[in-house]
Structure formats: structure tokens, C-alpha cells
Amino acid sequence: MSEHLQPASGEFCADKAHRLPVRVYYEDTDFSGVVYHARYLHFFERGRTESLRACGIHHSELAAMDPPLAFAVRRMGVEFIRAARVDDILVVETRFRPQAGARLMMDQALTRDGETIATASVQAVCIDGAGRAKRPPEWMQKQWQDFVLTTISE
């Protein structure tokens, strides 16, 4: 395999949204042929992980720190608008909202051909190795600062 071949990582766009294309596989669907509701959470997780990676924040590096750090979802609200089906190409959009203490706030949307089919409002928290919430280190906040929305209308 070629050394330059990398998995899809998406990209940040001028509107400060990180966009990650994903394809719906048969394994993502239920008996009716539509995407099983829990799989939408997987798509959103990939979008969050890749948006942080695009900022230079890698989960493996956080876990290797002394003391180790991680992110955990504290709260998530999901709205299912339209069904996705096998072979659909979806785009996971992730936008960072202003941080509040240990919490990292994100809005996410799953789109198909420009139409929103699901949304998520996510509150993640930075945690230490014992699972206690802690404010993200300054270097981490600087990594994502350029991508944080400054107004609700952005």
C-alpha cells in the first residue's frame, strides 16, 4: 500500500465548518433498509474526531500525555429529519461554539446533497485520567480557537 494514502479526514471551510464526507454502508442500515438511528451517532463522532484532528488535536496523543486527557460527551441532542439509505454519500459538518469552562460545545449536521437530514447539539467535556472534568489546556484551546464561531449567525 502506498505510504501517502490516508483515510478521509475532511477539511475546515471558509465558514469555519469542518466537513467530512462519509458513505452509508449496508452495515449501517436496519431491516427496513434505512440507516439505523444509532449509526448517526457514529457519523457525528467521526466528524468530531476528524475536526479535532484537523486542529492538531489527536486522541492518541492526549491519552499518552502525563497526565492523560480525553474528551467525553456529556450531553447530546439529536434531531432526525430525513432517512439515509445504503450508498448515500453524506457530509458531517461540525462547528465549534464558544467554550464554557471544561466544556467544548459543538453543533453538527449531517447533510445529503446539501439537504440537512439530521442535526446534533453536543457538549463534550475534557477529562483527566480519573474521569474528572478539567479545563482544556491553553495550548489545546489555541489549536481550535481559529475555528470557533463568534456569533450565532455564523
Q: What are the pLDDT digits (tens) for 51-86?
A: 999 999 988 888 888 888 999 999 999 999 999 999
CATH number at residue 94: 3.10.129.10
- The total domain count for the chain is 1
Q: Within a domain: residue 93?
A: yes
Kindly report the backbone phi and psi dihedral angles of residue 27, in degrees, each rounded to the nearest multiple of 5, phi listed first: -65, -20
Q: Of 30, 87, 128, 146, which one is the catalytic site residue?
A: 30
DSSP 8-state code for residue 27: G
Query: How does residue 153 score in pLDDT terms, banded at 50, 70 and 90?
Result: low
Please say if 66 is a catalytic residue.
no
pTM: 0.90
Q: Within a domain: residue 75?
A: yes
Which domain does 119 fall in, by range?
A: 24-145
Residue with grid cell 500500500, as numbered in its chain: 1
Q: What are the pLDDT digits (tens) for 97-152?
A: 988 788 899 999 999 999 999 999 999 999 988 889 989 888 888 888 888 988 65
Q: What local confidence, expressed as pLDDT, does residue 17 receive?
A: 94
Q: Within a domain: residue 19?
A: no
Q: Within a domain: residue 40?
A: yes
